[in-house]
Amino acid sequence: MAFDDVEARAQAIWPALQIERRLARSSKSDLFAATLDGEQVVLKALSSTQPLWRYYLAREIAAYDALQGEALPFAIPRCYGADLERGLLLLSACDGRRLANGRAASRPLPPAIVEHLVRGLRALAR
């Protein structure tokens, strides 16, 4: 997926968005480091047009919407917005590291991370 194509799709929604570099790529989507009005953001752009991946993106958008404002023991990126038709999701950049490079961790997560995740899930279940 070319930067120009993604940047044009995204700037139709967020005119001030500037893509800096690609962070990750899969067969279904790309993640880009970008800036929006001076803030570091991450842009997810679907590269697949299959309905299943739009469905998954819609679920991801709903999850971020549901988690906004929740008091959790870990940071949730701020959702700047999304456009399902264009296959775009824009989030604030977060410090730290990914828990996994793919769908699942390739090795067991450290116990402290697991405890944070469990506390977060318990908080959401209340």
Digit-coded pLDDT (tens) for 35-87: 999 999 999 999 988 999 999 999 999 988 888 877 777 778 899 999 999 99
Report d(CA 117, CA 29) in Å as an integer: 25
The fourth-level CATH superfamily of domain 3-125 is Phosphorylase Kinase; domain 1 (3.30.200.20)
Range from 11-20, 78-87, 88-97 carrying the lowest mean pLDDT: 88-97
Report d(CA 23, CA 35) in Å as an integer: 13
Report d(CA 71, CA 74) in Å as an integer: 9
pTM: 0.83
What residue type is assigned to position 53 of the chain? W
